Amino acid sequence: MQTDLKNWYITSAALSTNTTVSIAFTTVTTGLRRMLSTAAATEVELTAQVAYYADLAAAQSAIATNVGNSRESLTASMAGSGFASLSTVTVLSSPTVEVATISVVDPDAPLDAAASGGTAVIIVVIVLLIVLLGGGGGFFMYKRSQSKKVFAA
């Protein structure tokens, strides 16, 4: 059923077949009439990771078109999907779509010119400071040795 659910989600969201899809199942139990009987349901959360914002917008539009926003439309979408294990699923609540955009630095991307230029400037400034301090110290030592008088023995 998990494979069918993933494939249905990829198809409904118009995602590429190599999209990473995660499924989380949570059992929700509700006590009725002083716990003499209970009702249980399974909450399903499907998560897809896409690389570009354009893919995200297309997936949102496809889900709205293919799934709808009511429990009846979601049940019909799953039943008519062609996946046998989903034809017996009964949806108890309306589907919701949540979007989270996370920016990630690409480790293969070339270094930013400003960042590498800034590093070069810092190195040049440090080298210049060392040269100036060394030169100043040398000049001070030279003047000091000039001021010392040597007496004949």
Instruction: Enumerate residues 6+ apart whose C-beta is below 8 A from 14.
Output: 58, 59, 62, 66
Q: Are residues 116 and 62 in the same domain?
A: no
Q: Are residues 76 and 141 in the same domain?
A: no
- The parent domain of residue 39 ranges over 2-86
On whether residue 40 sits in a domain, the answer given is yes
Paired strand residues for 32: 37
On whether residue 100 sits in a domain, the answer given is no
* Gap between the Cα atoms of 15 and 118, Å rounded: 41
Q: Is the pTM of this model over 0.75?
A: no
24 Rama class: left (phi>0) / alpha (psi -120 to 50) / beta = beta
Q: What is the DSSP letter of 92?
A: -
Last residue of some domain: 86, 117, 143? 86
Q: What is the tens place of the pLDDT at every residue in 52-99?
A: 888 888 888 888 888 888 888 888 888 888 887 888 888 888 888 887
On whether residue 98 sits in a domain, the answer given is no
Paired strand residues for 37: 32
Q: What is the tens place of the pLDDT at every residue in 125-146?
A: 888 888 888 888 887 777 777 7
